[in-house]
Amino acid sequence: MPPGWIPPPGAAPRLPHPAPGPAPDPTRFRPRPPRYASAPVGIGLHGRGGVVRVGVRGLGRGVAGVGVVVTLAVAGWLMWVLPGPQMGAVLGFGPVDGVVSVNRCYEATDAEGYTTGTDCTGWYVPRRPGEAAREIVLDTAADEYRRGTEVEVRTARGRAYELSGSAVFNFGTAGGLLLVPFLTLAAWLFACARSGTVENGDGYFLLSLVGLFAAIVLAAVAGILVGIGTAVF
């Protein structure tokens, strides 16, 4: 616009053009990266990969939960098949099955030659009608009975049992050594099912070792107390 120029009436005033400044520095202003540009597509929780990850974790929890149930079921079944009936007869579950008239007693040993207690042979007279009398072995007797002594017993797996310290220790130890590994495995599977991931098993392994030692100690203490009780009463 020439100097001294006056705009006509009604026309918008024109501002003078700004003086040209220095050119912008291209290294100073950089384009802003888009949001979530550093994460691969489909890996987040709201992407396709996140859905797959949640599904796999849920499947793992289900498998671990089923493993807990199966482990406990197998442990209960083995407990009943192996030492369960004998332990029930030793502890006196159920009515007395009959009376054994002792013939002789002797020191019993296992397959490796270790002493397991005192066994007695004798004539068994059952209390149930219709069951024939027969010769039977009184397993881990509470005492080395004299010939002709009559002992009330309960039977399991073709043998007679009574409450004795040796029997409590033997079958208590067998039950503990059988249950502790299965219970530890069930605890580890439960932890995996709860977290949805594979938990570290080192702590559970040490726990199983402690449990095995505790089972032996508890069985020994229970056997000693039962032995003292049967000797006194």
Rounded-to-integer distance, Cα 176 and Cα 143, Å: 25
Q: What is the pTM of this model?
A: 0.68
The dihedral of CA 94, 98, 99, 103: what is its sign?
Answer: negative
Which range has the worst mean pLDDT, 96-105, 111-120, 201-210? 111-120
Q: What is the pLDDT of residues 35-82, one digit of tens each?
A: 544 444 444 444 455 554 555 566 667 788 888 999 999 999 999 888
Percentage with pLDDT > 70 across the chain: 74
Q: What is the pLDDT of residues 112-130, one digit of tens each?
A: 888 888 999 999 999 988 8
Helix axes 84-91, 48-81, angle to 10 degrees: 50
Can you give the pLDDT at residue 16? 59
Q: What average pLDDT score do residues 198-206 get?
A: 89
Can you give the pLDDT at residue 43? 44
Question: What is the 3 state secondary structure string of 208-227?
Answer: HHHHHHHHHHHHHHHHHHHH
Q: What average pLDDT score do residues 88-92 get?
A: 91
Tokens of 104: 């002789």
Single-letter amino acid, residue 142: A
